[in-house]
Structure 1
Amino acid sequence: MGVFSALTTAVSGMQAQSYALENISGNIANSRTAGFKRVDTTFADLVPDSALNRQIAGSVAAFSQATNSIQGDLNATRIETNAAINGDGFFVVDQRLNGVGSNMQFANSNLYTRRGDFDFDANGYLVNGAGYYLKGLKIDTVTGSLIGTQPEVLRITKEQFPAKATSSIEYRANIPAVPGTTNASNGGSHLLDGASVTAAVAPAVYDTVQGANITNFLSSTIPGGSVTVYDSLGKATSVELRWGKTTNAAPAVPADPTAVPPIAGSPATADTWSLFVAQDTSATGTATAYVKAPTAVTFDATGQMVNPGTGNITLPEMMIAGTMISTAANPINLTVGSNGLTQNGDVSGQIDARSIRQDGYTAGTLDRTSVSADGQVIGTFSNGQVVALAQLSVARFNADNALKRLDGGAFEETIESGPPIIGLGTSQLIGGNVEQSNTDIADEFSKMIVTQQAYSANTKVITTAQEMLRDVFSIIR
């Protein structure tokens, strides 16, 4: 029976090497397929049960060995919606069943792939080159929080991003201790004289500046910069700021108990400034040109702001160019913080505005999208806003190589692979890149040569066994 066993063993060897060659052929064919994972071949000996001193080498069986955990090279594509996973993990995707556009129906099953050549289709879905649709969680563009807990097929449409009314202006500046006003340059006082710039009788009361007094007002104040603000409809309005110094600091005067009668002391006073906002710079007569902010700003002897202690200066309620800004219900705060506004010596006598930024914007449309390292789909809008739109779902498995292969570089969960662990973990997403096949052509050719030699050797065994059987038949003759 040994010769006949040798024949069957040689046949099993040929079948095993044919199986290996089939895998090698598939690996070479997919050497340029994005996200492809090569399939190696392992061999196992099959030994029949026999006595210890009669055991034989046995036949052979071939099995597939997955390489899902071996990463391919990353190739830059310059397509911002493409993404590659640097590390462990798979994109969560789904398949289309039927329908088109907003009526498209999906299989509602989670599949997994490393093929990240995603791009938008005509309906706003992110689909890769094999036809799988990317899944993730939508992000609330207002709160920044995730919507839902289960991954769903992502659809990002070019809807308009709503406008936001300005509520805060970040202001960082140094105000000179001695303002270089036009009055001061002409030998006059550098202080703002309320009586000369307003219609008020008492100098301490100057909430508004009338058009007839604009010239005097400009001569007694210094510019503080301008900023564009927006209302709830996204209408832009330019806001001009001016500062006027109203009080110079004076040291405290101690009490004199020896005087007759005794003289009471007086507390120290601080440098005090008033902020004005232009309402209508072309106003004339009694029309309002500038409006004063209700909060006075004071500085101590070191130039640090003392008041307001909150670091916020509320702009006055007013109408500018037909737009109501800083209403009582929705005020605009000039946010200076604890050290954003200082009063230090400045030979120029002018305000050094280091930063004037506001938080409002007009409506905009989606210009482009990209993928961040932590897996967020980032949208850049025509109004300059950059907002996270969605969070890509990335799944990791305890046994990556136990996933079942499907067409198009996709995989599905098996009992052996274990359930998916959603999250990037220590991995990163590289936007504008695609992972290439992990097939090494040189290695595959080497394996093909070995496989060919092994196959030829098995055919030689069959030829030899045939000659031995012929010799047996010749004995009979």
Structure 2
Amino acid sequence: MGIYGAINAAISGLKSQSYALENISGNIANSQTIGYKRLDTSFADLVASGGTDQTTQIAGTVLANSRATNDIAGDIQRSDIDTFMAINGDGYFVVQQKVGESDGRSIFSGDNVYTRRGDFQFDEEGFLVNGAGYYLFGNAIDATTGNPSGSVPELIQIQNDILPATATTEIQYRAKIATYPLTTNADPADPGSELLVGTPGADITAATESDFLASSVAGEAITIYNDNGSPVNVQLRWAKTENADPTAGPPATLDTWNLYYLTDADATGANARYTNVGEFQFNGNGSLAVPATTSITLSNVTVNGAVVGDVNFNFGSGGLTQTYDPNGRVTVNTLNQNGFSTGDQTGVKISGNGRIVATYNNGQTRALYEIPIASFNADGRLARLEGGAFAQTTDSGVPLFSATGSVEGNALEASNTDIADEFSKLIITQQAYSANTRIVTSGDEMLQEALNMVR
């Protein structure tokens, strides 16, 4: 190949090291770019002529190529912004670019691209767009089933919609009831004084309310809701109506209790003040007698004139027990219900399972979208686009929605550029470039010597 070949090889080295320097420069420049994937440089030697016999071959030129690092994750950093998100593991967000507007509404490209950049925030139309101008896609959640309503991602748009009220249809109630209730009338020296004064199981009228209150104990209260979201306060009380008779033969007399709720605080005379929910019998070990009551449905529940409708009291299996308590009271373990008032949206955040969840001022939350994560068989073959996005190519394969990564809210993925590593590569590149210039200089001097021989 001779002197000219050596100079040619050195020049290819200069070009390749310049190529490497450009990648290093770009990596360092993007060391703080969210979700940036650095470009490494691969060098490939080109064999010079010399036949197939290696002993006659000589070193040739060099070619530089970029090597993608899409599958190397950056560090995940915490953020105070609820709509920021990061992918922990494999995968990409599905996004599109905005190409214009028509009648004040945004128009999008229609071509999905993919990114790891998760600094998404809402624009004026309720779309989630990241700092590079890419708009997020997701799968809408069916409010009834709680599952995605389709498999094809759609553009995510969040409206500040009102969450309609939902009437209460179930009250979950679990409690421990004292074996001996310390009612106002209760006197340990007077057996039976702790029992209900009045007819067991009957509703309590306004005329008999004082006797009822003196011979019953509080079972706590809960707010439920009717169809229009109006709150209704339900006050519960327990009254023991019969003590077990250990001398009685089968079927033995059991401890018997009745549960009541306040129906009408303004009732007078013979009108019902408290309504009976049901009767409960307990074995000596404190468990409900067989058949154990696990739920009771009350028809057309009305409290102080507010109609709620049918409400199921759900006690669950083993939810009601009778136990010794020196305080003689009812200890409620669970008391909640499934209704709520109308709610205004107060915020949006990303849940731990990768869903966009809206929060409301009535304490409710609702999942609106599930964020899909796309993966590719050949990440390194994706086409790089501006703004940290990637496009599908023939070599990358089609997107697969079975990525092993997960979405984390209040987080961002940092660039995978390591400044120290880039500086190390910079030193090596600079030295290699300088060494190639020496080859050119030496080749030039050798050519001068050859030309001087003819003088």
1:102-137 CA distance string (max 9 Å, x none)? 832222222111111111222221111111111111
Letter in 2 for 1:417: S
Q: Does residue 354 in structure 1 map to residue 333 in structure 2?
A: yes
Which range is displaced more, 140-149 or 308-317?
A: 308-317
Q: Is the 8 A contact 1:297 1:308 kept in 2?
A: no
Q: Is the 8 A contact 1:280 1:290 kept in 2?
A: yes
- Give the corresponding residue for 1:199: none
1:275-321 CA distance string (max 9 Å, x none)? 2111122322233211112x321112221112663500233534223
Q: Distance in 2 between matches of 1:160 and 1:214?
A: 42
Which residue, out of 289, 292, 302, partners 2:273?
Answer: 289
Q: Does residue 123 in structure 1 map to residue 125 in structure 2?
A: yes
- Shift of the alpha carbon at 1:416? 2.2
Q: Distance in 1 between matches of 2:345 and 2:357?
A: 10
Which residue, out of 457, 460, 470, partners 2:435?
Answer: 457
Q: Does residue 189 in structure 1 map to residue 193 in structure 2?
A: yes
Decide whether aligned partners of structure 1 residues 27 and 288 sit closer, same or farther in structure 2, where only a CA change above 3 A counts. Answer: same
Q: What pairs with 1:383-398 in structure 2 (closer than 5 Å)? A: 383-398=362-377
Q: Distance in 2 between matches of 1:422 and 1:3?
A: 56
Letter in 2 for 1:321: N
- Shift of the alpha carbon at 1:389? 1.9
- Give the corresponding residue for 2:61: 59
- Give the corresponding residue for 1:27: 27
Q: Does residue 278 in structure 1 map to residue 262 in structure 2?
A: yes
Q: Distance in 1 between matches of 2:263 and 2:371?
A: 48
Q: Is the 8 A contact 2:280 2:293 kept in 1?
A: no
SS in 1 for 2:218: strand
Q: Gaps (5+ residues) in structure 1?
A: 195-202, 255-265
SS in 1 for 2:289: strand
- Shift of the alpha carbon at 1:251? 4.4
Decide whether aligned partners of structure 1 residues 349 and 433 sit closer, same or farther in structure 2, where only a CA change above 3 A counts. Answer: same
1:215-272 CA distance string (max 9 Å, x none)? 1221222211111001122110000111222222234755xxxxxxxxxxx7322222
Q: Gaps (5+ residues) in structure 2?
A: none
- How many residues are aligned here? 451
- Shift of the alpha carbon at 1:3? 2.2
- Shift of the alpha carbon at 1:362? 1.0
- Give the corresponding residue for 1:405: 384
Q: Does residue 248 in structure 1 map to residue 226 in structure 2?
A: no
Q: Distance in 2 between matches of 1:373 and 1:212?
A: 55
Which range is displaced more, 61-70 or 304-313?
A: 304-313
Letter in 2 for 1:303: G
Letter in 2 for 1:371: I
Q: Distance in 2 between matches of 1:346 and 1:472?
A: 112
SS in 2 for 1:150: coil
- Shift of the alpha carbon at 1:434? 0.9
Q: Is the 8 A contact 1:234 1:363 kept in 2?
A: yes
- Shift of the alpha carbon at 1:346? 2.2
Q: Does residue 268 in structure 1 map to residue 268 in structure 2?
A: no
SS in 2 for 1:239: strand
Percent of counterpart pairs with the same letter?
A: 46
Q: Is the 8 A contact 2:243 2:255 kept in 1?
A: yes
Q: Distance in 2 between matches of 1:190 and 1:316?
A: 30
Q: TM-score, normalised by structure 2?
A: 0.93
Letter in 2 for 1:279: T
- Shift of the alpha carbon at 1:100? 6.8
- Shift of the alpha carbon at 1:439? 1.2
Which residue, out of 206, 211, 217, partners 1:216?
Answer: 211
- Give the corresponding residue for 1:39: 39
Which residue, out of 414, 425, 437, partners 1:447?
Answer: 425
SS in 1 for 2:7: helix
Q: Distance in 2 between matches of 1:4 and 1:318?
A: 100
Decide whether aligned partners of structure 1 residues 165 and 146 sit closer, same or farther in structure 2, where only a CA change above 3 A counts. Answer: same
Letter in 2 for 1:445: F
Which residue, out of 94, 98, 121, partners 2:96?
Answer: 94
Letter in 2 for 1:355: T
SS in 1 for 2:390: strand
Which range is displaced more, 270-279 or 143-152?
A: 270-279
Q: Is the 8 A contact 1:292 1:316 kept in 2?
A: no
Q: Distance in 2 between matches of 1:253 and 1:86?
A: 67
Q: Distance in 1 between matches of 2:183 and 2:299?
A: 24
SS in 2 for 1:280: coil
SS in 2 for 1:212: helix
Over aligned residues, Cα RMSD in angstroms?
A: 2.2
Q: Distance in 1 between matches of 2:157 and 2:321?
A: 49
Decide whether aligned partners of structure 1 residues 135 and 470 sit closer, same or farther in structure 2, where only a CA change above 3 A counts. Answer: same
Which range is displaced more, 14-23 or 449-458?
A: 449-458
Decide whether aligned partners of structure 1 residues 273 and 304 sit closer, same or farther in structure 2, where only a CA change above 3 A counts. Answer: same
- Shift of the alpha carbon at 1:424? 4.0
Q: Distance in 2 between matches of 1:252 and 1:397?
A: 77
Decide whether aligned partners of structure 1 residues 102 and 432 sit closer, same or farther in structure 2, where only a CA change above 3 A counts. Answer: farther
Decide whether aligned partners of structure 1 residues 184 and 102 sit closer, same or farther in structure 2, where only a CA change above 3 A counts. Answer: farther
Decide whether aligned partners of structure 1 residues 101 and 33 sit closer, same or farther in structure 2, where only a CA change above 3 A counts. Answer: farther
- Give the corresponding residue for 1:142: 144
Q: Does residue 207 in structure 1 map to residue 202 in structure 2?
A: yes
SS in 2 for 1:42: strand
Q: What pairs with 1:171-186 in structure 2 (closer than 5 Å)? A: 171-185=173-187
Letter in 1 for 2:228: L
1:404-440 CA distance string (max 9 Å, x none)? 1110001112222222221342x33332111111112
- Give the corresponding residue for 2:10: 10
Q: Distance in 1 between matches of 2:333 and 2:148?
A: 36
Q: Does residue 315 in structure 1 map to residue 298 in structure 2?
A: yes
1:319-362 CA distance string (max 9 Å, x none)? 2233112x3xxx21111112111112222222122221111111
Decide whether aligned partners of structure 1 residues 77 and 267 sit closer, same or farther in structure 2, where only a CA change above 3 A counts. Answer: closer
1:4-32 CA distance string (max 9 Å, x none)? 22232222111111111111111111111
Q: Is the 8 A contact 2:266 2:304 kept in 1?
A: no
